[in-house]
Amino acid sequence: MLTLKKKIETIVAELTLRYDSLRKIWQYSDSQPTEITLAAALVILYPIATYLELGYSPIMQLMAPIAGLYQLYCVSGKCLSCRVRASFVTFSFYLLAGVMYLYCGLLFQGPSYWGWILLAVSSFGSLKRIKKEELHRKNG
Amino acid sequence: MDNTTQIVLAIVTLLGSAGIWKYAEARLRVKAELKKEEKSESDTILYRDDLRRRVEDMDNALKEAHKELLELTQKVAKLETENSFLRREIDILKSK
């Protein structure tokens, strides 16, 4: 009984350690690859998917690729404030997709539609990471 | 979905995301400020400890110097006495 309790405690401690490690990686790791992926999805996937599933929407299908390209431009330029702006725009677009799908009643028709929420969360995490980096560089 | 709905939804989402971001940004700023203050406080503590150590070192050095000065004063007094005796002896020898 005692060994089982000890084993459970060890497993819980290990899992807590792993969780903390994941949290730190999520908060502080380099976010350029995520930004590039999100931007590429915004340029390629976003207009096609929204056009096929929601129909023609100029705000989403014309503006989103521009926002994605702007994000790619900012990542390549290594300017932090530019990246913050671009990430905010990207986050807004992914959130807009989520809202549009919710409005059209598609969001809860299948789990694959929750991907938009996942992308919104991912872009928000990326946005927070860049802002943290900016503040860290400012404060020294 | 008509254009008006799309525009309204886009504006609402934009405002919502701006609100979420403003809140998150403010929290990040506060956290960064707190971290900065903690860091500066720890720097001050380190500086104070360093000063305390230096004061202790200087106090020890001063005590040592006092001790050496006392010894030197004693030696000088001894030499002065010896010197005066020797002078007197020289005088006696010269007068002979």
Q: What is the pLDDT of residues A101-137, one digit of tens each?
A: 999 888 888 888 899 999 999 999 999 999 988 888 8
Looking at the predicted structure, is the pLDDT value of residue B60 above 90? yes
Looking at the predicted structure, is the pLDDT value of residue B69 above 80? yes
Dihedrals phi, psi of B81, to nearest 5 degrees: -65, -45
Looking at the predicted structure, is the pLDDT value of residue B54 above 70? yes
Confidence of residue B57 (pLDDT cuts 50, 70, 90): very high
Dihedrals phi, psi of A57, to nearest 5 degrees: -145, 100
Structure tokens at A54: 């929601």
Rounded to a whole number, what is the distance in Å from the CA of B55 to chain A's nearest CA?
31
Instruction: For residue B32, give the nearest of A55, A96, A135 by CB distance.
Output: A135
Instruction: For residue B9, give the nearest of A99, A124, A135 by CB distance.
Output: A99
Give whole-number Cα distances, B20 to A23, A40, A92, B11, B87, in Å.
Answer: 20, 24, 10, 14, 99
- On whether the CB atoms of residues A35 and A119 are closer than 8 A, the answer is no
Interval A15-52: pLDDT, tens: 999 988 888 887 777 788 889 999 999 999 999 999 99
pLDDT for res B11: 92
Looking at the predicted structure, is the pLDDT value of residue A3 above 90? no
d(CA A83, CA A91): 12
Q: For residue A96, which residues of chain B lie inside 8 Å, CB to CB?
A: 9-10, 13-14
| B24 interfacial to chain A (CB closer than 8 Å) | yes
Regarding an ipTM greater than 0.90, the answer is no
Looking at the predicted structure, is the pLDDT value of residue A65 above 90? yes
- Quick check: pTM over 0.80? no
Instruction: Please compute the mean of the pLDDT values over residues A64-87 and round it to a whole number.
Output: 91
pLDDT for res A91: 94
Q: If you average pLDDT over every residue of chain A, what do you get?
A: 89
Give whole-number Cα distances, A61 to A48, A69, A132, B16, B23, in Å.
Answer: 8, 13, 31, 20, 29
